[in-house]
Structures are given as structure tokens and as C-alpha cells.
Chains A and B, each alone.
Chain A
Amino acid sequence: MFITNASRGLPRHRSRHPAERYTRWALRALTVLLVLATLWLVVAFHLRGQWMFSLLFLVLGASLAIVFGKRELMSHRYIFPALAGMGVFVIFPLVYTIGISFSNYSSSNLLSEERVRAQFLDQTYQAEGQAFDFQLYREGDRTRLYLDAKGAGDLEGTRQLVSRPLAQAEAGQPLAVEPAQAAPPGEALGIREVIALRDRLQGLTLVTPDGTELKMAGLRSFAPILPRFEANPDGSLTDLRDGTILTPNQETGFFVTEDGERLTPGWPVSVGLDNYTKIFTDPDIRGPFLQIFVWTFVFAGLTVVFTLAVGFLLASLLQWEQLKGKAIYRTLLILPYAVPAFISILIFKGMFNQNYGEINLILENLFGISPNWFTDPALARSMLLIVNTWLGYPYMLLLCMGLIQSIPRDLYEASAVDGGGPLTNLFRITLPLILKPLTPLLIAAFAFNFNNFVLIALLTEGSPDILGASTPAGTTDLLVSYTYRIAFQDAGQNFGLAAAIATMIFLLVVGLSVLNLRLSKVKV
């Protein structure tokens, strides 16, 4: 243990080796570059109105500048990169998730209010009332459009327009039209030729000298494209088609008409505790939520019990000195741990398949039964527990073997002298001695299985579904997979609700890990 000279405030030592001095300058330049890059991100996010991200990078850049700028913080330079990684990718997402849980962030309330407003103002409509009939006139190899105002409608007094030759239109560029008194020279094309050119015409945008754009509105007409909404000074929008006024509602995050109709998309606004009260009061959410909550505890608890039982039993057998071939048994027994989980889970998915899976084939041949592993809730849950025990017992086996080995041999000898049998040894010596160091690890295993997302996602995807749930919820879903489905698989993508459930799991995990730290008495 030492305190660096720099932290003590001792003067800088000037290296005699030029190479070292250059490295120092290179490092300083790198730091400055990184600080400038984060500052650029801060400004860019700020300009887009995303203050959370702007703040994140401001904190990151400022701490980078301070830690690498002050010599006294020399020791902190070593830990800064790792802490920054954890800060940005573990702690920030956590805080951000808690923040989202108080908002209505979802697929319909995704963009900021300015972006939503801009999107509305970008919307256009084709003014059918001001449509023009069109005809194509061909003169030699030049084809032009001739537009003639239909009925009373016209475009600021212009009734007839003639386009430049179609051949001059470049892809994606509007084609200019000019006011005219009469049809252009050449012969008018019949409807059959117009149909032949339809694709070409549909992709065409015409533009008048004053900038109004026209697009094809039917087989015989072109109509001008006009902006649909107009911004009013008080922040509301006017629908130019029918004159309705849309006012922004900051409580729901939508533009609403006078009779209360919402227009999507909206923007995220704070909804207070709404998401949390919804979980506990909305019957369509509360029912499935409670069911999943209970099942998550049952699943994690039973997994720990089963894996521990199997692991401990095997460990006791493998500790038996008179048994031969222990090394081979041990290697074979930890195989499930060595195979990547995403592969072994999928192997089980195939093996449990109701139609061609090997497990049902064997059961069919032996007992004449063929269980519906994926459609019956109870069977699906048993399948999860079987698979998870297979996946998880090697961890317990390794733990138990290590712990049993650390028990002093003479305890057993003393017990043998006093006439103790295997059962006495087990309950009076082995179990009491390994349970204490094992407890924090069991809690960690519980927490891991509580959040065992990969198993559910790859094996059952939560199915079979709970009937009558308004969010996607399955009888085998754990809280994490439920959260994931609400956020990423549901059509509504209700991020706010998902974040509220995630926040509740956070609290549980904090509780578990504090308990864990207490029990394991970590020495720092």
C-alpha cells in the first residue's frame, strides 16, 4: 500500500528520457481530445433537447477533465476508466429507467414535443377541391403535361399550366410547370398511353413558379399539395382542412381537438405514480403481475433447492475417498456448466418438442404418454425447473466440493472414534460447517435465477399465455421476461410500465445484495 508522490503533492519529476516525455504529451493530447469529444456530445444532445443525455456526458467530460487534470488525483486516474464504464452502462441506465417509470414513454409517446410538432407541420394533404385535369401532349419525342383547372377551383388565378418535357425530369427532382393560355402543340395521348406511363407520372412532382407542388391525384387529375397544419402563436395548431384547433395537452402528452380526441404521435410527459398504481389497481395488469411475481419467487427458490440438493449429494459421493474414477465423474458431471447455456437450452427446446422431441418418443414407447410440455402451464413450469436444475447443479457441485474439502479431516475421525455414522456426520459436521459460507452464494444464485431471462426467452418465451391479460403475459414468464415483453414485444411498447416493474425488481435486488454483503462480511 502506498500513496503516490503526485497525491502527496510532491513536485513533478522530469524524465531524462525524451521518449517518456513524448508519451506524457501524447497522453495529455488524448485527454484533451476525449474531453472535447464529450463536450461536442453535450452540445449536440442539448441542441436536440435531450437533457438527460446531455447531462450524462457533461458529468463524464467534467470528471474526466478533473481526474486527469489534477495531479493530486493520480490514483483515481487508474480507476477512472472502469468507473466511467460502470457509470455510463450500469448506473446511468438504472437511474434513467427509474426516471422513465414516472413517464408515459411508449411507442406512441416517443419523440420530444418539438419533434412531434415538426412532424405535424410537415404533414401535407392533397387539396382535391383545387385539382387540375391533365392531359399528355406529345410533340415529336417530347411529352408534356397540360393541366386545366377543374370546376371552380384554381391556384391563385392560374387556370392552365404546361409542364416542361417529361424527359427533362430528373429522378427525385420536381418538374417545373408554367402558366399557359392554351394546350401545348402536339397531339393529346389517349388514356391507354397514360396508363402505360402511370408509374412514371405517380413518381412525378410538379412545381409552379410560386413554389406550390402538385402530385398525381387520380388517373385524370393532379392536385396541389398543401401543408395540413398551421402553427398558432399560442402553441396550438390549426387543421387547415376543416379549421379545427389542436391544443397541446401537457398532462397526457398529446395534441387534442376541442372534443377531446387525441392525435398520435404524442410526446413523453411525467405521469407521476400512474404506472405504479396501474400495476396494483388495473385488474387486467394486477392479476397477471401477481401470478408472475409469485411464480418468479417459486422458480428461483425451487431452483436453488433442487440444484443444491443434487449438487450436494453428488459432492458428498465424490468426496468418498474409497471411490475410484472420481476425476472422470467430475469432468462429466460439470459438462452442463461448460456447454454454453444458449446452446444447451435450445437443445432442450428441441428434445421437449411435442411432435418429434426425443423425450416424448421415449415416454410414448415406455408408458404410452405424450405430455404437452409447451401448452400445459404446470408441465411447462416443471420443464423449466428440470432444465434449470440440469443447467445449474454443476455450480453447486463445485461449491460444495470446495467447501467440504476445507472441513478438517480430524473432525470426522473424532466422530468415528465416538461411533458416529454417516448420517450423524452429515447433520452434525458437514451441513453446519458448509451452510454458513454457502449462504451468501445461495442468495446470489437466488438473485441470478430470479432474473434468469435467457432461460425463459430461449425455452418457452413465457408461453402458454395468461388469458385476459392486457399486456403480453405468460404462465412461465418471470418478472424480467415480462418486463422485456412489455417493452419490446408488445405492439404498444409501454416503456413506462416496463420501467416501473423494473424499478420494483431493482429494489428487490438491492435488498438481496445488501443482505448478501452483510452475510459474507466482505473485507475491502
Chain B
Amino acid sequence: MAMVQPRSIRTRKLGAHLALLGFVTLVVFPLLLVISISFREGNFATGSLIPERFSLEHWALAFGIPWERPDGTVVQPPFPVMLWLWNSIKVAVVSSLMILALSTTSAYAFARMRFSGKAPILKGMLIFQMFPAVLSLVALYALFDRLGQLVPWLGINTHGSLILASLGAVALHIWTIKGYFESIDGSLEEAAMVDGASTWQAFRHILLPLSVPILVVVFILAFIMSIMEYPMASVLLLDEDKLTLAVGAQQYLAEHNQRWGDFAAAAVLSGLPITLVFLFCQRWIVGGLTSGGVKG
């Protein structure tokens, strides 16, 4: 590479830096603003990015601690944010574990075994994966409404129904894990089977230990998707203490009672961990998404 660069390249570089910096400002501004607002006093305070009147009121309320203002009035937390976060995590962990179990076993069969109907099933899964759940909400609602009359813990307004409903979205994960399994040489399993291992044992004791990284990634992917799931949760959950974060958070900005400051604290509190997890795993997540096109 040439060490001496013509002047035109240097101005172009400067221009590129300026353009990128400008764009980064646009992108980061809303996020910094929310952090700033969460520390401002009052719900509608305006001002510079660095709060002039610093207050931890919104943060205390987000953690569910009543806050005493200087004038002696005690403000109660408007919404049970921690409970919502806990609901979200509970639903996400259980459903991701179930999704992981379902998709790992089927990915194994798709990657290693030969059986009738394999190609059409795989193709069909790709097509059905593109149907958004929003469109079948009426049917899902009817299904869980009726099911709830027979099995109460699977009815409307239960976390069981939400977990169960998420089990339909496995196609993408099956494809991801299948791709990984196919990249592992099958000779180890064959050797095990020659020595008398059953199909299940070869899978359980040979292939699974080799695939821990992809299992972790798929678990995190399913976890994030479940945390962010909105349409089904908004129809299946009714009571305030049952809501997940995705459904509950919008109540802060309801039409007639907007709590901008309280929302900011709750948003940072709940959004930050998810953002960090996402950034940490983005390499694998992006790989999975380019093959499926789920978020965009």
C-alpha cells in the first residue's frame, strides 16, 4: 500500500469520518436521551443531555420502591416492572428450553437420517415459517379459550398458553442447527454405532457434546425472540400481574397518562441486559438471520 497518499484521498477520508460520525449521532441520540431522561426530575422535564436536576425517582420506581419527594409526598410505583421482567424471563426460559429440545432432535434426524418425506417437510417448514402469528391470532385465541375450559393452566391469561404457542416457531432453529450438524463429520457417530451404540446414544453422547456452542446460540436466539414477542402475548395475557414486559411497557405511554420519565428508567433497566446479550452474540445471530430473514 502506498504510504504517500494524494490529498484527494485524505479529504475523502475526512468526509467519510464526518458522515459516519453524523450518522452515529443520529442513531445514538435517542438512546442517550432516554438514559438522560431517566435521571431527570419529573415526568416531562426537558433540558440538556446531562440532567440539570438530577433525581433517582424514576429508577427507584422502576425497581418497585416507593419514592419520597422533597415536599414529603410519597409516589407509589405505577406499574410492577420487576414482575413483568420476571414474567418475561420465566416464559422465555421455559419456551426456549422446549424449543431447543424440539429443534435439536429434529435437526439431528434431518441432518443424519434418510427417511421418507424429508425434502417436502423441510421445504414446507420454510414456507410456513413466513406466516406471521398475528394473522392466526383469532384461531389461537379460540384454541386456548376452548382448551382452557378443559385444562385451566393452558387457558387464556396463563403463561402456559404463551409458552405452548411459541412452540410453533421452530423451523428457523431447525435449519440453523441442521447446518451446524452437517458441518460435523459423521464418522465419529458411525464408529460409535459400529461399537454397538444405538442411534439415540450416538446422538446423545457423541454429537450433542460436540454441538454445545450452537445449542447455546440457538437458546439465546429463542430467548431474545421470546422476550420481544408482542402480538401473541397481547392477546393471550389480560391481567396486569400476568403481562410480559413487551406488552406491559406500552402502558407507560398510554393516551391520557403519559409517564415519560418513569418509562425511560424502566426501558433502560430492562433493555440494557437484552442489548448487551445481543451485542455479545451478534456474530452467530446474524448468521442465523441471514438465512431466515426474521427481523428487519
Interface of A toward B, CB cutoff 8 Å? 1-7, 13, 41, 44-45, 48, 50, 53, 74-76, 78-79, 81-83, 85-86, 88-94, 96-97, 100, 307, 314, 317-318, 320, 322-323, 329, 331-344, 346-351, 353, 356, 358, 361, 390, 392, 395-396, 398-399, 402, 440-441, 444-445, 447-449, 451, 453-454, 457-458, 480, 483-484, 487-488, 495, 498-499, 502, 505-506, 509-510, 512-514, 516-517, 522, 524
Q: A332-B27, A353-B260, A448-B296 are in contact. List 18 more A-B contacts (CB 8 A).
A: A1-B112, A1-B186, A41-B151, A81-B106, A89-B167, A90-B169, A97-B139, A323-B16, A323-B17, A332-B24, A341-B295, A346-B249, A346-B252, A347-B267, A348-B30, A361-B46, A390-B30, A517-B126
Q: Which residues of A contact B253 (CB under 8 A)?
A: 346, 349-350
Contacts of A341 in B (CB 8 A): 228, 295
Can you identify 30 A-B contacts, CB atoms within 8 angstroms? A3-B114, A3-B115, A53-B143, A53-B146, A76-B115, A78-B109, A83-B121, A86-B128, A86-B168, A88-B167, A89-B167, A90-B133, A93-B140, A314-B20, A317-B19, A323-B13, A333-B27, A335-B275, A340-B270, A346-B253, A346-B263, A347-B30, A347-B31, A350-B260, A399-B290, A483-B135, A498-B138, A513-B127, A517-B123, A524-B122
Report Cα–Cα, A522/B175, bound state, in Å: 11
User: Which residues of B are found within 8 Å of A88, using beta-carbon distances?
Assistant: 143, 167-168
Most buried by B among A53, A79, A335, A441: A79
Contact among A53, A85, A350 with B263 in the assembled complex (CB-CB below 8 Å): A350
**CB nearest neighbor in B for A326:** B20
Secondary structure type dominating chain A contacts: helix
> Shortest beta-carbon distance, A499 to chain B, in Å?
6
The reply to whether B231 and A484 contact each other, CB–CB distance below 8 Å, is: yes
Q: Which residues of A contact B282 (CB under 8 A)?
A: 334, 337-338
Chain B residues lying within 8 Å of A487, measured Cβ to Cβ, are 137-138
With beta carbons under 8 angstroms apart, the residue of A4, A454, A502 that contacts B136 is A502
- The interface on chain B, measured as residues whose beta carbon lies within 8 A of the other chain's beta carbons, has a size of 104
Residues of A within 8 A of B136 (CB): 90, 93-94, 96-97, 502
Q: Which residue of B lies closest to A94 (CB)?
A: B136
- Assess the A89–B114 pair: CB atoms within 8 A: no
- 3 closest pairs, A vs B, by CB? A444-B293, A89-B168, A93-B136
Q: Which of B164, B249, B264 contacts A89 (CB 8 A)?
A: B164
| Contacts known (A1-B113, A3-B115, A53-B146); A350 close to B228, Cβ less than 8 A | no
- Taking CB atoms, residues of chain A closer than 8 Å to B128 are 86, 90-91, 94
Known A-B contacts A81-B106, A448-B296, A517-B127; the reply to A94 vs B139 at CB < 8 A is yes
Report yes or no: A97 in contact with B138, Cβ–Cβ below 8 A: yes
B46:A332 contact, CB within 8 angstroms: no
Residues of the B chain whose Cβ atoms lie less than 8 Å from the Cβ of A322:
5, 9, 13
A343/B279 contact (C-beta < 8 A), A79-B121, A451-B132, A512-B130 known? no
Is B212 part of the contact surface with A, judged by Cβ < 8 Å? no
* In the complex with contacts A85-B170, A314-B23, A322-B9, A339-B275 CB distance below 8 A: yes
Tell whether B105 is near chain A: CB-to-CB under 8 Å.
Answer: yes
Chain B residues 99 to 132 lying within 8 A of chain A, measured CB to CB, are 101-103, 105-106, 108-110, 112-115, 118-119, 121-123, 125-128, 130-132
Q: When the two chains form the complex, which single residue of B31, B109, B110 contacts A339, counting CB atoms closer than 8 Å?
A: B31
CB <8 Å contact, A85 and B102: yes
Q: Is the CB of B112 within 8 A of A2?
A: yes
Chain A contacts of B13 at CB under 8 A? 322-323
Interchain CA distance A318-B13 in the complex, whole Å: 11
Rounded to whole angstroms, the CA-CA distance of A422 and B277 in the bound complex is: 38
Contact at A343–B270, with CB atoms within 8 Å?
A: yes
Whether B234 is near chain A, meaning CB under 8 Å from some CB there, is yes
In this complex, the member of B17, B27, B125 whose beta carbon has the largest number of chain A beta carbons within 10 angstroms is B27
User: In the assembled complex, which residues on chain A have CB atoms less than 8 Å from the CB atom of B23?
Assistant: 314, 333
In the assembled complex, the Cα of A85 lies from the Cα of B274 at a distance in Å of 27
Q: Is the CB of A86 within 8 A of B125?
A: yes
User: Which B residue sits closest to A516, measured CB to CB?
Assistant: B130
Nearest residue (CB) in B for A445 is B296
Chain B positions near chain A (C-beta within 8 angstroms): 5, 9, 13, 16-17, 19-20, 23-24, 27-28, 30-31, 33-34, 44, 46, 101-103, 105-106, 108-110, 112-115, 118-119, 121-123, 125-128, 130-140, 142-143, 146-147, 149-151, 164-171, 174, 186, 190, 193, 196, 198-199, 224, 227-228, 230-231, 234-235, 245-246, 249-250, 252-253, 258, 260, 263-264, 267, 270-271, 274-275, 278-279, 282, 286, 289-290, 292-296
In the bound complex, CA of A90 to CA of B142 (Å): 14
- State the CA gap A446–B258 with chains docked (Å): 33
| Chain B residues whose C-beta falls within 8 Å of the C-beta of A93 in the assembled complex | 136, 139-140, 143
Give the residues in chain A near B31, CB-CB below 8 Å. 335, 339, 344, 347
- CB atoms of A4 and B106 under 8 A apart: no
Residue of B20, B113, B134 touching A451 (CB-CB under 8 A):
B134
What residue of chain B has the Cβ atom nearest to residue A447's Cβ?
B130
> What total of A-B pairs shows CB separation below 8 Å?
286
Closest residue of chain B to A323 (Cβ to Cβ) is: B16
Bound Cα distance A340, B260 (Å):
18
Q: Are A2 and B286 in contact (CB under 8 A)?
A: no
B139 adjacent to A83 (CB under 8 Å) = no
Q: Is the CB of A448 within 8 A of B30?
A: no
CB <8 Å contact, A82 and B102: yes
Alpha-carbon gap, A497 to B261, bound state (A):
40
Query: Which of A41, A318, A348 contacts B150, CB < 8 Å?
Result: A41
CA distance A302 to B119 in the complex (A): 35
B33 contacts A356, CB within 8 Å?
A: no
Provide the bound-state CA to CA distance between A358 and B33, in Å.
9
Looking at the complex, which one of A3, A453, A517 makes contact with B132 (CB distance below 8 Å)?
A453
Q: What's the minimum C-beta distance from B217 to chain A, rounded to whole angstroms? A: 15
Q: Contact: A343 with B115, CB < 8 Å? A: no
Once bound together, how far apart are the Cα atoms of A447 and B294, in whole Å? 10
**Complex-state Cα separation, A126 to B54, whole angstroms:** 65
Rounded to whole Å, the gap between the CB of B154 and the closest CB of chain A is: 10
Residues in A with CB closer than 8 Å to B28 are 332, 335
Which single residue of chain A is at the shortest CB-CB distance from B234? A457
Q: Are A513 and B130 in contact (CB under 8 A)?
A: yes
CA distance A501 to B103 in the complex (A): 32
- In the complex, the answer to whether A79 meets B138 with C-beta atoms within 8 Å is no
User: Are A86 and B294 in contact, CB atoms less than 8 angstroms apart?
Assistant: no
Q: Is the CB of A488 within 8 A of B134?
A: no
A34 CB to closest chain B CB (Å) equals 14
Assess the B105–A82 pair: CB atoms within 8 A. Answer: yes
Q: Which residues of A contact B263 (CB under 8 A)?
A: 346, 350
The distance from the CB of A42 to the nearest CB of chain B, in whole angstroms, is 11
Residue among A342, A358, A441 making CB contact with B46, cutoff 8 Å: A358
B27 near A336 (CB under 8 angstroms)? Answer: yes
Chain B residues positioned under 8 Å from A314 (CB to CB): 20, 23
The complex places the Cα of A499 from the Cα of B253 at a distance, in Å, of 30
Give the distance in Å from the alpha carbon of A6 to the alpha carbon of B20 in the complex. Answer: 60
CB pair A524 B118 closer than 8 Å: yes
